Structure 1
């Protein structure tokens, strides 16, 4: 199993960021709590599933950004996630559900957030 460095895969960054955002938003909808450990686990799971790696500092930055987006930006763009919506965020094998309009909107928020942070983080 070959692990690829993710630094050159800009499109994958939005998908990666969206996964812990969705996980944190789902956790909040279900428990009224955003947990840092869920964000870290979901980031590692996504990277492993996609056979990608990301330097630890970039993972920390993405995790912090994911929590910020889940706690503030998702509601700011009018995404009100309810308990009943949680199951629709993910497929049966726990990938993001691309057919979900909520996931599509979260991906847009994540793309914009990454574009805002791209230069500060030294990403192309």
Structure 2
């Protein structure tokens, strides 16, 4: 097994799940590669060696994802995205006006409430 020294230039990012998970991005100029390495604590558990072209594609994909995230409200829970989608669907339905079933339900409910108020008086 060969041990390769880490290059001086690199960037670490911690995984939001914690537990020692992290990723390191390092540039290997002498080989013309960008290396993404996955870490668990002090142990490297996987690597991906990318050509500059492939690395640029990954960066473009990340930039696109960040742009989409910036345009949406901040997600605070795993269900927040689903809730936002449901709210958008409800807004579209409400935009079309009250459907017939809703008007009928309001009329019946309103009639029942008015009848109860009249019987009290």
Interval containing the TM-score (normalised by the shorter chain): under 0.3
Q: Relative contact order: is structure 1 or structure 2 higher (C-alpha 8 Å, sep ≥ 6)?
A: 1
Compare the two structures and name the one with the higher strand fraction.
Answer: 2
Q: Quick check: which one's helix share is greater?
A: 1
- What TM-score comes out, normalization by structure 1 length? 0.25
